[in-house]
Amino acid sequence: MTVIDANRMHEIETRYPEYFHRSFRQRFGGLMILIATLLYSLYAVWFFDLPKLFAEAHWERVGIYLSQWVSYDVQPELRIEDDGSIDIRYPRFSPLGDNPHPDWLVNNPDGSITVSISGTSRTVTVSKSETIVTAHGVSVPVEVSSGAPKVVGPVPGWMTVYDDNVLADLGFAGNVSISVDRVKIRKRFVGWANFIFDTQSSFFDKPVGEVVSLIVSGPRIKPDQSNLSLAFDDIWNNSEWQHGDVWTKLFQTIVMAFLGTLLGALTAFPLAFLAARNITPNRLLNQILKRFFDFLRSVDMLIWALFLTRAFGPGPLAGSGAIFLTETGTLGKLYSEGLENIDNKPREGIKSTGAQTVLVHRYGIMPQIVPVFVSQTLYQWESNVRGATIIGAVGAGGIGLKLWEAMRTNANWENVAYMVILILIVVFIFDTASNALRHRLMGTKTH
């Protein structure tokens, strides 16, 4: 065991004062950061009034919207006529077509109609005098012969009685609205209705085997067009899903991102050489160009899109211009900083041979910066595919505008889900491709 005397201890303290005489910041810096973070969190809770926000939020809408992303509903309306007969009607654009005869709607011998909402556990039987709703193991009769519908017996928790109608909530399966002269039913199905062929198609509601047979070897449905061409036209021009328009807008978004990024890179590349202090020793010019890059970056891409749509009208030209302006500022800053951080020894060596400035840049600078520049440009391109979707919502064209139009209806949420999935797939593909190219250029391995 080694004993350290007072002189040796003093010598050690003198040699390493940072360990023995720590400042207040070093001793309590971590604790102060923790306390500041907690205080800021409490301030944010108060400033945004989060308790009230969460208490008043319409959380039930989340479930409704999510269910509409993955399902569709059919809404038959059963009208009770004066003579006691029941007339079945569907909305004008019903997923079942113009002449529906679903197997889940049965005409009974006594004149009543039974609608299966979810198998045999949730059904609705409508007659001229009453409607019987069966759900959750009980059957609840509702009389409809008087001035207002009346529930016979106790009212279950899933049923609500209003002045002129009775609403039965059957969960995800649907709901039933009962009034004196009509019963409105909403029956929900999992999936996307008529995704391939709409109700106007010659192939609508045909089994898959029959459709394949018609396309491969069946007689022509239209004498002047093959069945394969007709099937493609019906899919591409599907009036409910608008595949042709959606895919065209998606391609516009990709082109907007590519064109805007490419033009931004081509513009930023020469300007970066003028903005780099070690390449162009003109401080005034350096500062002017760097502030110009800052200006272009400080105005968000969305704001540029708003300006350009006012100037050129809505369309992909405004979107490409917004990306171009933003990327000129972003890539100009990245390129100029990359140039300022290069190793000057190769450049000085080539310059010492008396080579021209162009050759000095070509052999002394370009080999160092090209991989970095291409990597940064690819990343920006992949990022702009997402950005192009956002600016499309303000009229800059592309699938973003189509997505915004579908959301504004507050009804076509399955179409919204379709476009969101397409955007996710495209972003995933571009992200994977750009990452692979970046790693290849930088000489690193992908994991």
pLDDT tens, 328-348? 999 999 999 888 887 777 777
The CATH class that applies to domain 243-442 reads: mainly alpha
pTM of the entire structure?
0.79
pLDDT tens, 277-324? 888 888 899 899 999 999 998 888 889 998 888 888 888 888 899 999
Kindly list the domain boundaries of the chain, sorted by start residue.
20-57, 74-190, 243-442
CA 278 to chain CA centroid, nearest Å: 43
Encode the chain in three state secondary structure: CCCCCHHHHHHHHHHCHHHHCCCHHHHHHHHHHHHHHHHHHHHHHHHCCHHHHHHHCCHHHHHHHHHHHCEEEECCEEEECCCCCEEEECCCCCCCCCCCCCCCEEECCCCCEEEEEECCCEEEEECCCEEEEEECCEEEEEECCCCCCEECCCCCCCEEECCCCEEEECHHHEEEEECCCEEEEEEEEECCCCCCCCCCCCCCCCCHHHHHHHHHHCCCCECCECHHHHHHHHHHCCCCCCHHHHHHHHHHHHHHHHHHHHHHHHHHHHHHHHHCCCCCCCHHHHHHHHHHHHHHHHCCHHHHHHHHHHHHCCCHHHHHHHHHHHHHHHHHHHHHHHHHCCCHHHHHHHHCCCCCHHHHHHHHHHHHHHHHHHHHHHHHHHHHHHHHHHHHHHHHCCHHHHHHHHHHCCCCHHHHHHHHHHHHHHHHHHHHHHHHHHHHHHCCCCC
Reading the chain (447 residues) residue by residue, the pLDDT tens digits are 566 667 776 676 677 666 666 666 777 778 889 999 999 999 999 988 888 888 888 887 787 788 888 899 999 999 988 888 889 999 888 888 887 888 899 999 988 999 999 888 899 999 988 999 999 889 999 998 777 889 888 999 999 999 889 999 998 889 999 998 899 999 999 999 899 999 889 888 888 999 999 988 888 888 888 999 999 999 999 988 999 999 999 999 999 999 999 999 999 999 998 998 888 888 899 899 999 999 998 888 889 998 888 888 888 888 899 999 999 999 999 999 888 887 777 777 877 777 777 777 777 777 778 888 888 888 888 888 888 888 888 777 788 888 888 888 777 889 999 999 998 998 888 888 877 877 776 666 555
| Nearest Cα to Cα of residue 89 among 99, 192, 201 | 99
